[in-house]
Amino acid sequence: MIIVDSCGWIEYLKGSKKGEKYEKYLTDMKKIITPAIVIYEVYKKIKNEKGEEKALLITSQLLRTKIIPFDTDISFLAADLSLKYKLPMADAIVYATGIFHKAKIITSDEHFKNLPEVIFI
């Protein structure tokens, strides 16, 4: 199982050069889990830049993965990881979701650089 972080989805869906590096991780949607906060981040960014219709169309791709809600177990783990690694809240939730579900996190977000269980692009 893997998690593609918000920045990865955004780059991939924009068709950027960096997004091309994510393509190999997005071939089998059954192997991807998506923290609910990633939907929030992707939808918000795309809606702000391209409007609601485009945001809904783009985030529908994420809904083909297994969505993981933000629950109490992940909340406590995210808080602990945030303190340990100085992660912002959303990044801590993504990281905690990966740790809790034994999934690698695929990202190019600098906050994750050099963390265990992260594949950094």
Domain edges within the chain: 2-120
SS3 34: strand
Structure tokens at 62: 């994420």
Local confidence pLDDT in tens for the 121 residues of the chain = 999 999 999 999 888 999 999 999 998 999 999 999 999 999 999 999 999 999 999 899 899 999 999 999 999 999 999 999 999 999 999 999 999 999 999 999 999 999 999 999 9
pTM summary value: 0.92
Q: To which H or E segment does residue 67 belong? A: strand 66-68
Maximum pairwise Cα distance, the chain: 39
Q: Which fold has domain 2-120?
A: Rossmann fold (3.40.50)
**What are the CA-CA distances from residue 11 to residues 32, 40, 61, 77 (Å)?**
17, 16, 13, 28
